[in-house]
Amino acid sequence: MTLEALISSRAKLPERLYLFKSCVAGTFYPGIERSFRFILNSLNVDYFDDPSQSSCTGFGVHCGMVPPQTNLTLNARNLTLASESGYTNVVCTCPTSYANLKECVNELSDTSSRAAVNDVLKQVGLEYNGGVTVYHAAEVLYVIKDSLAERAKSSLSQLKIATHHGCHYTKVFYDQVIGGLWEYPHLLDDICTTFSATLVDYSERSLCCGMGFTNLMSTNDYSAVTSLRKLESILADKPDVIVTMCAGCQLALDRFQKKYERRLGYTAPVLNVSQLVAILLGADKTKDACLQFGTINTGSIVNKLEAL
Partner 1 sequence: MANSDSSNNFDYLYKKENKVRCLQCGRCAAGCPAAHVFSEYNPREVMRRVQDGEEHELHKDPIIWLCGQCYTCNSRCPRNNNPASIILQARERAYKQGHAPAEIYQQSAALLESLFLNGVTVSPVLLKEKLGVLSELVDVERLTKLRAELGLPEHNSREVPIPAKAIKQIRTIITSTSGQGERANDA
Partner 2 sequence: MSRFGVFLCRCDGNISNTVNIDRLEKHFSQTCVVETDQHLCSLQGQQKIKNSIRKHDLQGVVVAACSPNNHGKTFRKCLSDTGLNPYLLELANVREQCSWVTKDQKSATRKARDLVNASIQRLQHAEPLSEFLVGVTNAALVIGGGIAGITAALSLAENGIKTYLVERQPSIGGNTVRIGKVFSPHKMVEECAMCSLSPLMNDVYEHPNITLLTNAEVTSVIGTAGRFSVDIKIKPRSVNERCTSCGECATVCPIEVADWWNANTRNRKAIYKPFPQAVPDRYVIDIENCVKCGKCSKACKSKAIELEAEPSLQKVKVGAIVLATGHEEFDPSLRPELGYARLDNVITQLELARIIGVNGPTNGELLRPSDGAKPSKIIMIQCVGSRDEKPNGLHYCSSVCCMVALKHANYISDYSPGTQISVLYTDIRTPGIYENYYRHVQDKGVRFIRGRASEVKQKAGKLYVSVEDTLRSKCVELDADLVVLSTGMLPSKGTVELAQKLGIELSEELFVKEKHPKLEGASTSIKGIYVCGTAQGPKDITYSVLQADAASLEALSLIGQGSLSIEPLSAFVKDSCNGCGICVRHCRNNAIKIVDRAATIDPMLCTGGGACIHACPTGALDLHNSTEAQLEASIRGMLAGKVNGEIRNIAFLDSKIGYAAADNIGASKLQYPSSVRIISVPSVLRLAPRHIDLAFKLGADGVFIGQGFEAESCGENFESVESKLNNLSASVAQLGIDPARLKIYRVYIPHFVGLHKRLMQFDKGIRQNDEPSDELALRSET
Query: Contact residues for partner 2 (CB under 8 A)?
Result: 1, 3, 6, 174-175, 180-181, 183-184, 203-204, 206, 233, 236
**Which lies closer to partner 1 via its Cβ, residue 54 or residue 129?**
54
Would you give the DSSP letter of residue 213?
Answer: T
In angstroms, the Cα distances linking 307 to 181, 196, 279, 285, 292 are 33, 12, 11, 15, 21
DSSP notation for 100-129: HHHHHHHHHTSHHHHHHHHHHHHTTT----
User: Per rule CB under 8 A, is residue 201 in the interface with partner 1?
Assistant: no
Say how many C-beta atoms besides its own lie within 10 A of residue 1's C-beta.
8
Helix (H, G, I), strand (E, B) or coil at 254: helix
Stretch that binds partner 1, among 2-10, 106-114, 144-152, 192-200 (CB under 8 A): 106-114
Strand partners for 86: none
By CB atoms closer than 10 A (0-12, 13-18, 19+), residue 286 is exposed
Beta strand 160-164 pairing with 154-155: unpaired
Give the one entry of partner 2, partner 1, none that residue 307 binds, where binding means its C-beta sits below a cut-off of 5 to 8 angstroms depending on kind: none
35 interacts with, out of partner 2, partner 1, none, CB within 5 to 8 A per kind: none
In three-state secondary structure terms, 199 is: strand
Among positions 69, 85, 129, 147, the unique one binding partner 1 when judged by CB under 8 A: 69
Nearest distance from residue 202's CB to partner 2, in Å? 9
Number of residues located near partner 1, criterion CB under 8 A: 82
Of residues 114 through 133, those in contact with partner 1 by CB under 8 A are 116, 120-121, 123-126
Closest to partner 1 by CB, 125 or 265: 125
The rounded distance, in Å, linking the Cα atoms of 47 and 82 is 11
Tell me how far, at minimum, the Cβ of 206 lies from partner 2, in Å: 6
Q: Which stretch binds partner 1 (CB under 8 A): 6-14, 192-200, 207-215, 235-243?
A: 207-215
Residue numbers 252-291 binding partner 1 by CB under 8 A: 255-256, 258-259, 287, 290
